Amino acid sequence: MSEDILAKIVRMRKADIERLGLNFGIEIPEKRRVGHTEFLGNAGAILEVKRASPSKGDIAPDLDPVALATTYAEAQAQAVSVLTEGNFFKGSLRDLIAVADLMERRRKQGLHTCAVLRKDFLLYEDEIDIAYRCGADAVLLIARILDDEQLVRMAKRAQSFDMQAFVEVREKDDFRKLSVVTSALGTDAAKTIVAGVNSRDLATFHTDPLVPASVRSKLPAKAVFESGILTPADADYARSLGFTGILVGEAVAKNPALAKEVVGAFESGSENARGKFWKKFAERKQQKQARHCEERSDEAISTQKTIRPLVKICGITRVEDGLLAAELGADMLGFVFSTTKRLTTEEFVRSFKERLLRSARNDKSETPILVGVITDPNSEEGKTAIKLAREGVLDAVQLHGIDPACLASHCEHEVRSDLAYYCAARVGEESDFDKVTALRKNGEPRILLDAKVEGIPGGTGKTIPENLLREKAGDLPLWLAGGINPENVAGLVFKFSPELIDVSSGVEDAPGIKNSEKLKALFATLKSV
C-alpha cells in the first residue's frame, strides 16, 4: 500500500526534527515577548498565512507574512493561522514570530488584534513551549496523528501557558480522542479546547463540505469549519451549520482582497433552516454508510469499489406509494409543486406527513426527508412548497432548474433567511455545467444533476449522457436524476458511485402512479450492490 500524504508529511517532519531539532535550526526567542489574545474568543474567521500545499503546490510563494496578516487584521479576522511546516507548505517559525510581533505592535497602538495560531503537524510537548515563546496564542493538535496520552499531555501543556488547544478531528476515532482529552481537562476544557473538523481528508487532500455538517452535533459549542472555504457564500454555508469559526487558507492567501468579504459573510450569517437540512442529510448519509459496512464482511468492504447510494423517490401522489417507498428504505421523498402531471397539493402533503409519522411509531428518525420540488418560486405552487418548508411540514425545497442569478437577487432574502433548500440543475450538454459551477460558487455543497429535455422540467425518463458525467461532473459526490430504473441502476452505481439517486418515472406505470413491484425491484437491486 502506498504511503498517504499525511503519513509522508509526518515521516519527513520527524526526519527534519532528528536532524535540526524542534526549532528546525531557527533562532527563536528565549522567552515570550508578546501579550496574549484568546483564540476564537468571539465567533469569526481564522485566516491563514499559507504559501503552498500538497494538493495545490505553490499558492502564494512570495507572500509577506506581515503584510498579509495586516490585511487580515484590517478585515477584522478573529485569528491568523500561521503554517510553520516547511516541506509541503513552505512555512517557518520565522513567519510565526513575525506575525506575533505584528500583533503586539497593533495591540500597543490600540488597533484590532488577531489571536495567532501555530498550525503544524505537532508531535511533541516541547513544541508547545516553542510555539508559546514564538508568540502563538493557540496550537493545532491533529488527533489523527497523536495517541490518547500524547494528545492529553500536549493539551495540558498548552493549558499551562494559557493557550488554546485547537484539536482537529475527522475520523471516527478522533471523536473518541476528543472526548478523552476533554475529560482529562475537566472543567477547564471549555476554556482550553476548541474543536475543528477538516472538510479536507489529510490522507488524500480531497475536500468535501458535507463532512463538517455530518459531525457538527458531535462537537462542543466552540467549533471550527476547516478548509474548502473559497467564496463568501461558502462562509455563509459554514455559519448556517452553527460553526463558531471558519479557517480559510488558499482563497485569501491567493487573493487577500477577498478577506473582508469572507469575514463579513461569516459574521453576518447565522445558524438556520438551510444548515439544519444539510446536517440532517449528512448525518443520515453517515448512518446509512455505517450500517452498510456492518452488513458486509471485512473482505467485502476491502474489495468494494462502490458505496450504496441514498435514494430519493420523487413524484409521490399516492399515500400507499410514499409509505411503501419509506418501508423499502427511501431516504428522501419528493412532492412536485409544478404544473406537471405529478403536481401535488398542500392538503395531500400535510395528510401524508401525518400518516408517515404515525406509521413510524416511536422511531421517527428513520422517516424519509420530505422535499417539495419547485420550478418557479413565484408561482402559487412554488409559494405553497416554500410555506410548507418554512412550517417544517417539508424538510426542504428543491429549486429545480432555477437560474443561480435568481438566488443572488430576487430570492436571496427568502431563500437564505429561513428556508431549507438545495438546487437541481438540468444538464444535457457541456455549457449546462456552467450553471453547476455557478451554484458551487454560490456555496452549494451538493447539486442534483437531472437530464435536460426541452420543455419538460423533469420526470422524462431520459438519462444524462455518460460522457458528460465523466468529463464535467467535477469532484463533488454525485446526485443523479433522470431515467434511473431497476434495470440500469446497478450499472450507474458501478460506473459513477453516486451519493444519491433520484428516481421517478423509472418506477411508474403512469406519471405519479408508482408500481410497487418496480419499487421493490429497485431497492432489491441496490441491496446487492
User: For the segment 368-396, what is each residue's pLDDT rounded down to a tens digit?
Assistant: 999 999 999 889 999 999 999 999 999 99
Q: Distance (Å, rounded) from C-alpha 192 to C-alpha 48?
A: 21
Rounded (5°) CA angle 76-276-439? 70
Q: Has residue 485 got a pLDDT over 90? A: yes
Average pLDDT over residues 222-250: 96
Q: Has residue 258 got a pLDDT over 50? A: yes
Q: Has residue 29 got a pLDDT over 50? A: yes
> Mind listing the pLDDT tens digit for each residue in 91-101?
999 999 999 99
Give the residue, 301 or 244, on which the prediction is more confident: 244
Q: What's the Cα-to-Cα distance from 18 to each of 15, 21, 24, 25, 477, rounded to whole Å?
A: 5, 6, 9, 11, 41
Q: Has residue 52 got a pLDDT over 80? A: yes
Q: Name the one residue in this structure whose C-alpha cell is 402533503.
A: 349
Q: Distance (Å, rounded) from C-alpha 158 to C-alpha 137?
A: 9
- Are 48 and 120 in contact by the 8 Å Cβ rule? The answer is no
Measure CA 68 to chain center. 26
Task: Output the pLDDT for position 475.
Answer: 76
Question: Is residue 455 classed exposed, middle or buried when 0-12, 13-18 and 19+ CB atoms within 10 A define those classes?
Answer: exposed
Q: Has residue 2 got a pLDDT over 70? A: no
Q: Distance (Å, rounded) from C-alpha 465 to C-alpha 468?
A: 6
Q: Has residue 474 got a pLDDT over 80? A: no
Average pLDDT over residues 117-133: 98
Q: Distance (Å, rounded) from C-alpha 136 to C-alpha 72?
A: 16
Q: Distance (Å, rounded) from C-alpha 326 to C-alpha 308?
A: 17
Mean residue pLDDT across the chain: 91
Residue 53 pairs with which residues in a beta bridge?
A: 57
Q: Name the one residue in this structure whose C-alpha cell is 418548508.
A: 389
CATH 3.20.20.70 fits 5-271, yes or no: yes
Q: Has residue 409 got a pLDDT over 70? A: no
Average pLDDT over residues 149-168: 97
CATH level 2 (architecture), domain 275-527:
Alpha-Beta Barrel (3.20)
Is 5-271's fold the same as 275-527's? yes
- C-alpha cell read off for 128: 508547545
Residue 425 pairs with which residues in a beta bridge?
A: 449
Task: Output the pLDDT for position 382.
Answer: 93
Residue 139 pairs with which residues in a beta bridge?
A: 118, 165
Question: What is the rounded (10 degree) CA torsion for 299, 300, 301, 302?
Answer: 50
Q: Which DSSP category does 42 fall into?
A: S
Q: Has residue 522 got a pLDDT over 60? A: yes
Q: Measuring CA to CA, which residue among 113, 222, 130 is closest to residue 167?
A: 222
Task: Output the pLDDT for position 413.
Answer: 46
Q: Distance (Å, rounded) from C-alpha 478 to C-alpha 500?
A: 7
Query: How would residue 43 be classed by pLDDT, with cut points 50, 70 and 90?
Result: very high
Average pLDDT over residues 342-359: 95
Q: What percent of the chain has pLDDT over 70?
A: 92
Q: Distance (Å, rounded) from C-alpha 170 to C-alpha 156?
A: 21
Task: Output the pLDDT for position 460.
Answer: 63
Q: Has residue 321 got a pLDDT over 80? A: yes
Residue 371 pairs with which residues in a beta bridge?
A: 334, 396
Domain ranges of the chain: 5-271, 275-527
Tell how strand 508-510 and strand 513-514 pair up. antiparallel
Query: How would residue 263 be classed by pLDDT, with cut points 50, 70 and 90?
Result: very high
